[in-house]
A and B are shown apart, each in its own frame.
Chain A
Amino acid sequence: MARKDLLELARLDRGEIDRILDQAVPFKELFTRSVKKVPALKGKSVLMLFYEPSTRTHSSFEVAAKRLSADVTNFDVPHSSVVKGESVRETVETLQAMRTDYIVVRHGRSGLPEMIARQTKASVINAGDGAHAHPTQGLLDAFTLKEVFPEPERKKVLIVGDVLHSRVARSTTNIFLRLGVEVAFLGPGSLLPKHGAEQVKRFTDYATAMAWGPDVVYLLRVQMERQDVQFFPSLREYHRVYGVTTQRLRELDDKGIWLMHPGPVNRGVELCDEAMDYHRSLINRQVENGIAVRMSVLYSLKPGGEE
């Protein structure tokens, strides 16, 4: 029986994860055809419910849904009655009346997508809730990693930045560990989680972390609009201590290390300008793969089914 919602990766079993990743391969192959669209979700409707700004995830889901021939409606939150004080529950009741088949939700509050999922027959996909989860990011990162390392067991990924407040770090770490990847964190001590997976090493110093021998350096985005800024002395300081500087880029190149970042990149903060053209950067591939993986997610969920 197919799953109704995708709320967090921890709830998927290994078989479900493998299936989503495996099916993303034929979806990606479609991108080279003259017609990139397939009729699998013809007549279905996808509602984009974004309470937080997002360009990448939003457009990635929108392209994915359209390539499956679904109709996409943007519930434009700032202009909707949310500003008039309508509660999320009332909004969902309205949406339910619209008989939408899939709802893609992003919200600053952890657990909100789940609340919506319980109230509606539509399939709900969590596109990021607070610091909790961002499951499709984890899936697309895993898919991208597996393209480079088809056998990812015991490969080493160093995740750099504000791990504590990052839902990307949470979801990506979850899936990487389940694929047998070794994960370590690098960041200011105050921004590394105290609890969580024991096998994850925690570094506060760049040189020590590099001595661990990562195959991939995964840079988290510094969230200017969120809480991060107050934890760092300055952006220039962050770049100096944790960023990929020109000098460190050469080290990555010498050691054959791959680079990942969920985007959008803050140039001069996480990455220096030259790193944007680094030949082992997977950042653009993450974007392309995000569409294929989200198509695979939409295709694998069944609205109205049982969780």
Chain B
Amino acid sequence: MSRFLDAEAIEAGVQALARAIRERVGEAPVALVGIRSRGDEVAERVCRVLAEEDADLLYGTLDISLYRDDYEHLHENPQLQGSEIDFEIEGAHIILVDDVLFTGRTTRAALDALCDYGRPARIELAVLIDRGHREMPIQPDYVGIHLETERRDHVYVLLEGTDGEDKVEVRPA
């Protein structure tokens, strides 16, 4: 049986994430970099919440397709979407944003990709959903929703801007 999170729960997750980031981020300008796809939408929504409070934020998107570790297992290489980072990475305080944190492999790829743009002063990790089951020593600094799952469950995230609705489905294997 599948379990679901509805739009309200997801919006609450975005708000929680924004709150957590606001509390811990000081005076220095911060850049939210969303991992495509859907991490970019989460970052954008968090930015929107924080912008209402005049927080000084930069925004960018990161495509990690060229940094994956599983090409051997794919029939076709992932479609490239491109990254958009229009600010200086060198010395920046960056918060990487993703929709779901699972094995940690995507985050590993994103760290490599980001560092090829320059040397940030600091990189943190914010995720809308932490579903556990890490395969790498990677932990989030900010979490919107903690979700209990089995290792083999599939977690499908739909977001308003990307998919037309906010919905999370946890489907057992």
Contact = CB atoms under 8 A, between A and B. Distances in A.
Given A27-B80, A68-B66, 9 more contacts: A2-B76, A23-B79, A25-B82, A26-B83, A33-B116, A35-B117, A40-B65, A40-B68, A302-B75
Nearest to A19: B79
A300 B82 contact: no
A35 B114 CA distance: 10
B4 interface: no
Contacts of B115: 35
Interface in A26-84: 26-27, 29, 33-35, 37-40, 68
20 contacts: A1-B75, A1-B76, A2-B77, A26-B81, A26-B83, A29-B82, A29-B83, A34-B117, A37-B116, A39-B66, A39-B67, A40-B66, A40-B67, A40-B77, A68-B66, A299-B77, A300-B77, A302-B75, A302-B76, A302-B77
Contacts of A25: 82
Interface residues of A, number: 21
A38 B117 contact: no
Nearest to B89: A34
Interface in B70-108: 71, 75-77, 79-83
Interface string A1-28: 1100000000000000001001101110
A19 B78 CA distance: 11
B112 interface: yes
A113 to B, nearest CB: 22
Contacts of A19: 79
B120 interface: no
Interface of B: 63, 65-68, 71, 75-77, 79-83, 112-113, 115-118
Interface of A: 1-2, 19, 22-23, 25-27, 29, 33-35, 37-40, 68, 299-300, 302, 305
Given A1-B75, A40-B66, A40-B71, A26 B116 contact: no
Contacts of A35: 115-117
B140 to A, nearest CB: 24
A23 B76 CA distance: 14
Contacts of B117: 33-35
Contact of A26 (B75, B76, B82): B82
B102 to A, nearest CB: 21
A68 to B, nearest CB: 8
A300 B75 CA distance: 10
A2 B79 CA distance: 12
Contacts of A299: 66, 77, 80
B106 to A, nearest CB: 14
Contact of B63 (A26, A33, A39, A68): A26
A245 to B, nearest CB: 42
A38 B66 contact: yes
Contacts of B83: 26, 29
Nearest to A23: B80
Nearest to A39: B67
Given A1-B76, A302-B76, A302-B77, A34 B82 contact: no
A2 B71 CA distance: 12
Contacts of A37: 116
A28 to B, nearest CB: 10
Contacts of A26: 63, 80-83
Contacts of B68: 40
Contacts of B65: 40
B67 A38 contact: yes
A94 B28 CA distance: 59
Nearest to A295: B66
A2 B75 contact: yes
B100 to A, nearest CB: 23
A1 B75 CA distance: 6
A189 B65 CA distance: 49
10 residue pairs, one from A and one from B, having the closest CB atoms: A26-B82, A35-B116, A38-B66, A40-B66, A2-B76, A26-B80, A23-B80, A34-B118, A33-B117, A1-B75
